[in-house]
Chain A
Amino acid sequence: DAKTTQPNSMESNEEEPVHLPCNHSTISGTDYIHWYRQLPSQGPEYVIHGLTSNVNNRMASLAIAEDRKSSTLILHRATLRDAAVYYCIPYNNNDMRFGAGTRLTVKP
């Protein structure tokens, strides 16, 4: 399983963009990079995933480094509702392993 390194915590101001980094230098060639988030007292929810190319959806964008050893989740305009723990998880046909994630605080 690929090991990941994420900052323990980050802060952002409301309405500003947020870039959440993740290092996964031991990722295998077939692992997709998934991002989930967990709001307080809730189960995790899917945010986005990608393999090699950058990906966009209604929630966020995912920028993947050319060597795939790191990725960045981009929230274009943070809202108070985006305050959560964000998990970066490389996996494919194995079991999803959650690390400690990054706790994002959004200030009004």
Chain B
Amino acid sequence: NAGVTQTPKFQVLKTGQSMTLQCAQDMNHEYMSWYRQDPGMGLRLIHYSVGAGITDQGEVPNGYNVSRSTTEDFPLRLLSAAPSQTSVYFCASSYGRGPYEQYFGPGTRLTVT
């Protein structure tokens, strides 16, 4: 199993550009989530999904959209990038929402200039 994969690994955007961060898992997990991590800080939850067709907001959802059309994929869209969105983005998946082990991807390092 590949586990949780994320693409791209690195990305540089100009202010106002849009892009999609890809996340996929091959463990048939129902729960998937996106986090951002700013330098020297812990991870903060952006959006999550408890199954295909169901998404909800986390702690810091503004400026991001998500959708979940399949169990495997959970893309994160930045509609109009801002310098404040410069961060490392992690995708995670787990069996369900609750006290289950979460598996994290390797991250995408995004810089917005």
Q: Which residues of A contact B (CB under 8 A)?
A: 32, 34, 36, 41-46, 49, 51, 87, 91-93, 95-101
Which of A41, A43, A99 lies at the interface centre, i.e. has the most chain B CB atoms within 10 A of its CB?
A: A43
Q: How many Å lie between the Cα of A99 and that of B41 in the bound state?
A: 7
Residue pair B106, A42 in contact (C-beta under 8 Å): yes
Which of B33, B59, B99, B101 lies at the interface centre, i.e. has the most chain A CB atoms within 10 A of its CB?
A: B99
Chain B's interface: helix, strand, loop or mixed, by majority?
A: loop
> Interface residues of B, CB < 8 Å — how many?
24
Question: Which one, A43, A93, A97, A98, contacts B106 given CB within 8 A?
Answer: A43
A-B contacts, CB under 8 A, total:
52
What is the CB-to-nearest-CB distance from B82 to chain A, in angstroms, rounded to a whole number?
23
Name 21 interchain pairs, CB-CB below 8 A, sorted by A. A34-B99, A42-B106, A43-B105, A43-B107, A44-B92, A44-B102, A46-B102, A49-B99, A49-B101, A51-B99, A91-B99, A93-B99, A95-B45, A95-B58, A97-B42, A97-B45, A98-B35, A98-B42, A98-B43, A98-B44, A100-B40
Q: Could you tell me which residues of chain B, from 1 to 41, have a CB within 8 Å of some CB in chain A?
A: 4, 33, 35, 40-41
